[in-house]
Amino acid sequence: MIFVVSGPGGVGKGTVVNRLVTLVDGLRLSRSWTTRSPRPGEDPKAYVFVDRAQFEAKAAEGGFLEWTEFAGTGHLYGTPRPQGDMDREAAEADLLLEIEMDGAQQIRRDYPDAVVILVVAPSASVQQERLRGRGDSEENVARRLEVGRSEEVLGRRLADHVVVNDDVVRAAAELAGIIESYRKPMETT
Ligand code: 5GP
């Protein structure tokens, strides 16, 4: 199955997702490709960092499940199609994507069985503080809040579930419960 966690910038979805994968077995977090540069101190494995030509070449050969230019940044982001050469455990795992709303819409269109979960901040002021905490400029914070507002409206229409990230531990546990609820009960012999 494909599980999509989406939501506006500053809702803390990355932190929630990182905790979620420690809670649920058999869940493989997809590593996206991006044309943006690594942030100072960012884990070099957070993304596959590539230039635009490399990204476009992969997109042209149908190498992404979805890809988009992230609102107003000029940077491309995409979910690589899972490779055939992975081990059995990885191949059988459910796929977890942490992506923005345009990508979530593409997944919904192409994979109607995918489960889309929207993560939202408990309030606009918390979201603003989180965006500021990342060291973004005030202009960037304002722009991302603006984009975030329309993303949330869209997301609420698209999503199967909405989770409020009021507390990372609680929100990750709620997400884990949602994912488990889609899994078939273990067959008894
Ligand atoms: P950031 O640059 O802050 O890491 O990510 C910017 C936005 O891009 C976030 O909302 C993140 O969820 C989203 N994103 C990350 N990877 C992908 C991807 O593969 N596809 C899409 N559509 N969005 C992504």
* Host domain of residue 42: 2-183
Listing DSSP states for 134-178 in one string gives TT--HHHHHHHHHHHHHHHHHHHHH-SEEEE-SSHHHHHHHHHHH
**Domain for residue 157, yes or no?**
yes
Residue closest by Cα to atom 18 of ligand 1:
78
Q: What confidence tens digit (pLDDT) does each residue in 60-104 have? A: 999 999 999 987 778 999 999 998 778 888 878 999 999 999 999
What percentage of the chain exceeds 70 in pLDDT?
97
Tell me whether residue 128 is in a domain: yes
Within-domain flag for 188: no
Tell me if 98 is assigned to some domain.
yes
- Is 98 near ligand 1, meaning CB less than 6 Å away? yes
H/E element, 106: helix 101-110
70 lines ligand 1 (CB under 6 A): yes
What is the CA(26)–ligand 1 centre distance, in A?
23
The H or E element that residue 98 is part of is strand 94-98
**Predicted confidence band at 161 (pLDDT cuts at 50, 70, 90)?**
very high
Residue 7, both tokens: 């939501």
Instruction: Say if 152 falls within a structural domain.
Output: yes
- The more confidently predicted of residues 58 and 148 is 58
Specify if 13 maps to a domain. Answer: yes
CATH number at residue 133: 3.40.50.300
Pick the residue whose CA is nearest to atom 21 on ligand 1. 99
Residue 79 within a domain: yes
The answer to whether residue 189 is domain-embedded is no
- Does the beta carbon of 8 lie inside 6 Å of ligand 1? no
Number of independent structural domains in the chain: 1
Ligand 1: does its nearest atom lie under 6 Å from the Cβ of 78?
Answer: yes
Burial group, residue 116, by CB count within 10 angstroms (0-12, 13-18, 19+)? buried
